[in-house]
Structure 1
Amino acid sequence: MSFDCCKSGFKWDGKPIGSEGALDKNKAYITGSNKDVAILIIHDVFGWTFNNLRILADHFAQEVDATVYLVDSFGGEVVDENLLESAVKTGDAEVLKKLDMPGFMGRNSKDIRGPEVFACARALKSQYKKIGAAGYCFGGWASFQLGAKGNNLIDAISVAHPSLLVKSEIDTLFVPTQILAPETDPQLTPELKEYCNKVIPGLGIPYQYDYYPGLVHGFAVKGDPNNAEQKAGLERAKNATVSWFNEFLH
């Protein structure tokens, strides 16, 4: 996975209103108070402390009326945003070495983090009647896996610019699925977009493919609110996910 796809846009302003706690054995940002409906957010490369995602979690808690869990899926490790930005802009060998994205991805592979994601989903299943999973970049493949046939853990998924996705994870989907797809995305390639739109409609599940022309990978959490086009994309993506979960979690 190339990390340059993850650095686009700017930080959002605002202060999260939730609190830090735990889900199963993982730390989590928790917001909302619904005792029946929960949403599990599976984050991108910037991790569970990323302010944009915490603010987004607050929106979901209020607008979907759900208890939202943004869980740490990187074992406490957080990518340095400034270091990542420097690496992308300059390509400096020393910065790249210090960043060590290959090592980071190795420590946070599907085989390592997948079982933790499933444990968190099982913990929610024991507490809530309806559960949604929202995956961003890294969290996309995990959301697809949770929604696979036979797992019976969640009721709907919404993914934006998913990374590391493979066709077998698309083939086995069994819950209502929403994909927020930017025009330019080195991870959700044109081939994978075409495959999703060919295969998922034949799986007998509700499906929505939401296309964002002119926008790039990361737009749904890292778009620039001072740029009219990117701000519109941020708002449309948030509203689309809210609408999706309101339909299938209530």
Structure 2
Amino acid sequence: MSCPDCFSGSVKDGKPRGEVVKLHGLDSYVTVPADGRTPKAIIVIIPDAFGWDFVNNRLLADHYADRGDYKVYLPEFMCGKAAPEWMIDAMRGLINGNVLAKPFYLARAMTGFVPFIMTNRIGKSHPRVKEFFEELRKAEGADAKIAAAGFCWGGKHVLLMSHNVTVDVNGKAAPLIDVGFTGHPSFMEVPADVADTMTVPVAFAIGELDSGLPANKVAEIKKIVEAKPAPVTGEVVVYKGAGHGFCVRADSTLNDVTKQALAAEEQCINWFNKHFGF
């Protein structure tokens, strides 16, 4: 399930420096290392509910490019129906505002939520995501290094692609992704999403206070993925005091949460580097 925290958080200051191109049928934000270094591999970000043009997601793509020397793609998977940025203010009013104003904020939030969920519920959106990765793998080749980083809504898609999902590339069955990372995934089914059919190693960054992933579920995820044999062994890191959405929408006025968001960035890059042998 999605929750109010899926649409809450903070908008970052900054100007993304990548470019927008058409990639495998989708508009995509593309960024590479700022200092001109040759990218070592590809990361595809599957974003949270706020989508590909949300400034936080584009800045995160820039950070991954610079910190890990990756080419980073952030595609438009949501058919123009991402949650609008103003929903952050609407949710803030709904959660913290005056009681008499709450019906207004609820109505406003629903005008953003309903189009998002109607277009982007997992069963309807995953074929779009999967098709992009199939075309990417065919274009880049069976031996290309491709990683996926999914957040909130996007985390579920990473998990679905980790379950022995392949595409034919010149007669060779190639995985859609080689390695995955998910920050505070939504819509998770435990244990099904981390079952024995996982053939791709996935790391998790989870906030201790994530209402969608209570401690008993996190412990179950950790027990399953960290017990898998190499090279499918996973990783679960729980960030103390952090809530849902901290990887992308951390409140910059709260120093500890900002540090945890940066630590999750480092976890992701280190995880990909480890599995690609960098």
TM-score higher than 0.5: yes
Q: Distance in 2 between matches of 1:240 and 1:35?
A: 19
Task: Select the structure with the greater relative contact order (CA < 8 A; seq sep ≥ 6).
Answer: 1
The amino acid across from 1:224 in the alignment is D
Instruction: After TM superposition, give the deviation of residue 198 of structure 1 in Å.
Output: 2.0
Partner of 2:212: 187
TM-align CA RMSD: 1.9
1:141 and 2:156 are equivalent in the alignment: yes
Q: Distance in 2 between matches of 1:180 and 1:202?
A: 17
**Is the 2:77–2:129 contact (alpha carbons within 8 Å) kept by the matching residues of 1?**
yes
Trace 1:52-71 onto structure 2 (pairs within 5 A).
52-71=56-75
Instruction: After TM superposition, give the deviation of residue 60 of structure 1 in Å.
Output: 1.0
Instruction: After TM superposition, give the deviation of residue 150 of structure 1 in Å.
Output: 4.4
Which structure has the greater CA radius of gyration? 2
Partner of 1:201: 226
Report the secondary structure of 1:41's partner residue. Answer: strand
**Is the 1:37–1:67 contact (alpha carbons within 8 Å) kept by the matching residues of 2?**
yes
Report the secondary structure of 2:4's partner residue. Answer: helix
The amino acid across from 2:193 in the alignment is E
Q: Distance in 1 between matches of 2:80 and 2:8?
A: 23
Alpha carbons of 1:83 and 1:196: their partners in 2 closer, same or farther (altered >3 Å)? closer
- Cα deviation per residue 1:171-191 (whole Å; 9 max; x = unaligned)? 132122110010111222334
**Is the 1:220–1:238 contact (alpha carbons within 8 Å) kept by the matching residues of 2?**
yes
Trace 1:1-250 onto structure 2 (pairs within 5 A).
1-32=1-32, 34=38, 37-90=41-94, 91-92=102-103, 93-99=106-112, 101-126=113-138, 127=140, 129-151=144-166, 152-167=175-190, 168-171=192-195, 172-204=197-229, 205-249=232-276, 250=278
Report the secondary structure of 2:150's partner residue. Answer: strand
Q: Give the count of matched residue pairs.
A: 249
Q: Distance in 2 between matches of 1:207 and 1:183?
A: 18
Report the secondary structure of 2:29's partner residue. Answer: strand
Alpha carbons of 1:13 and 1:96: their partners in 2 closer, same or farther (altered >3 Å)? closer
The amino acid across from 2:258 in the alignment is K
Q: Distance in 1 between matches of 2:165 and 2:29?
A: 28
Q: Percent identity?
A: 29
Alpha carbons of 1:49 and 1:150: their partners in 2 closer, same or farther (altered >3 Å)? closer
Deviates more, 1:89-98 or 1:188-197: 89-98
Report the secondary structure of 1:214's partner residue. Answer: coil
Report the secondary structure of 2:82's partner residue. Answer: coil
Instruction: After TM superposition, give the deviation of residue 138 of structure 1 in Å.
Output: 0.2
**Is the 1:174–1:203 contact (alpha carbons within 8 Å) kept by the matching residues of 2?**
no
Q: TM-score, normalised by structure 2?
A: 0.83
Q: Which runs of 5+ in 2 are unaligned?
A: 95-101, 167-174
